[in-house]
């Protein structure tokens, strides 16, 4: 049975931090593969800042290149919008019964679990692989405490990568050379398409 990490995100755009975390998960955390699940619309984020779905998916494929342990996944494009993690995981479990799926998420997202749809069902079906994020503080919430105590959480000691897609978009808008923070093919595509420039 393949152990597959599901790494959800807008990937707007995907950057070297995303790739580094996925690589750490395959090399050090015992995962056979990491699937970048490109979300059409995160219910907790504003949609107007997103590039078109197919463009963000294309950038993920450019970032992955020929790495067979990483995969771009567009499954949420085919599900109801807005997309919810529990619905996607349920679908993937049915479609790929020979895979064991785990969720990869930053520590900051871990502390929002009490706001997720059907979170108890989710944590009963998936282990959580958590990587560190700077400046993260756990809020005071009895409901969150109860959820975390019931969840199967594996804290992965991955290197702290303090890069965000927001930082990259803002840098491009200011005319900065952001090539240091992006896979070469992704940076080239962004420049060709004039993404995030205004």
What CATH number does residue 47 fall under?
Answer: 3.40.50.620
Indicate whether 157 belongs to any domain: yes
Q: Is residue 187 part of a domain?
A: no
* pLDDT of the residue at 47: 61
**Do the strands 99-106 and 70-73 form a parallel or antiparallel pair, or are they unpaired?**
unpaired
Nearest CA to 113 out of 126, 100, 96 is that of: 126
* Average pLDDT value for residue range 126-143: 93
Q: What is the structure's pLDDT at 58?
A: 98
Give tens-digit pLDDT for 64-103.
999 999 999 999 999 988 789 999 999 999 999 999 999 9
Q: Total domain count for the chain?
A: 1
Domain holding 89, by residue range, is 2-167
Q: What is the pLDDT of residues 147-181, one digit of tens each?
A: 999 999 999 999 998 899 999 999 999 999 999 99
Predicted local confidence at residue 134, as pLDDT: 86
Domain-embedded: residue 43: yes
Alpha helices per DSSP H over the chain: 16-28, 53-64, 85-95, 107-110, 119-125, 142-150, 165-173, 184-193
Let me know if residue 181 belongs to a domain.
no
User: Taking the model in full, what pTM does it have?
Assistant: 0.94
On whether residue 174 sits in a domain, the answer given is: no
Residue 27 placed within a domain: yes
Alpha carbon 23 to chain centroid, angstroms:
13
The pLDDT, as a whole number, for residue 43 is 58
Confidence of residue 44 (pLDDT cuts 50, 70, 90): low
Each residue's pLDDT tens digit, 21-42: 999 999 999 999 999 999 986 6
Write the DSSP string, 157-176: -PPP----HHHHHHHHHTT-
Q: Decide if 142 is inside a domain.
A: yes
Kindly state whether residue 193 falls inside one of the protein's structural domains: no
Q: Are 45 and 71 in contact (CB under 8 A)?
A: no
Tokens 């790495």 belong to residue: 67
Query: pLDDT by residue (tens digit) across 49-60?
Result: 789 999 999 999
């Amino acid at each position: 049975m393949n152990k597959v990490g599901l790494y959800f995100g807008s990937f707007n755009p995907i950057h070297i931090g995303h790739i580094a975390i996925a690589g750490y998960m395959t090399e050090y955390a015992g995962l056979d593969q990491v699937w970048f699940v490109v979300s059409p619309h995160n219910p907790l984020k504003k949609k107007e800042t997103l590039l078109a779905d197919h463009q963000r998916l294309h950038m993920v494929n450019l970032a992955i290149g020929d790495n067979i342990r990483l995969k771009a996944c567009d499954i949420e494009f085919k599900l109801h919008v807005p997309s919810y993690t529990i619905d996607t995981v349920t679908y993937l479990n049915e479609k790929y019964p020979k895979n064991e799926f785990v969720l990869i998420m930053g520590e900051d997202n871990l502390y929002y679990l009490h706001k997720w749809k059907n979170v108890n069902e989710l944590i009963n079906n998936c282990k959580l692989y958590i990587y560190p994020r700077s400046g993260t503080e756990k809020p005071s919430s009895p409901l969150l405490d109860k959820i975390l105590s019931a969840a199967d959480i594996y804290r992965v000691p991955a290197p702290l990568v303090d890069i965000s897609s927001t930082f990259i978009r803002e840098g491009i808008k200011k005319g900065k050379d952001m090539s240091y923070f992006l896979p070469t093919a992704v940076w080239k595509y962004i420049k060709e398409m004039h993404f995030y420039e205004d």
